[in-house]
Amino acid sequence: MNKPEQSKNGAKPRQQYDETYKRHAVELTLRGDRTVKAVAAELGIAAWALYEWRRRYASRPGGGAAPQTFEESLEENRRLRAEVMRLREREIVLKKSLGILSETLGSGMPESRR
């Protein structure tokens, strides 16, 4: 078994992990049967690194995975802007409806007779 190389000051060189490995590690934490710290210990990585990977690669509650490319970010931005416009239009309609429904009886609405 080879010992890992060490620098002059005795520190181990920084380990590099590919994206596939990181995503797999994040999936292990999302299963829910183990804590993030337990998964990190099993994989031999720092818990803070796994938390960072989760922030970057885990899906978000409201809309799937975080965009990975610039084009995906632009598309998500376009989609979100369109959604904001639809919601603003709905808000305007609701405000107008509320204004109409809350008008006083003397302003043109017929009185109800009992």
Residues 6+ apart with CB under 8 A from 105: 111
The CA–CA distances, whole Å, from 13 to 9, 10, 24, 45 equal: 11, 9, 23, 13
Band of residue 65 on the pLDDT scale cut at 50, 70, 90: low
pLDDT digit string, tens, across residues 3-58: 555 566 777 777 888 888 988 898 888 887 888 899 999 999 999 999 998 888 87
Spans of all domains in the chain: 15-63, 67-102
The CA–CA distances, whole Å, from 40 to 26, 54, 82 equal: 10, 12, 40
Q: What is the pTM of this model?
A: 0.44
Residue 27 near residue 39 (C-beta atoms within 8 A): no
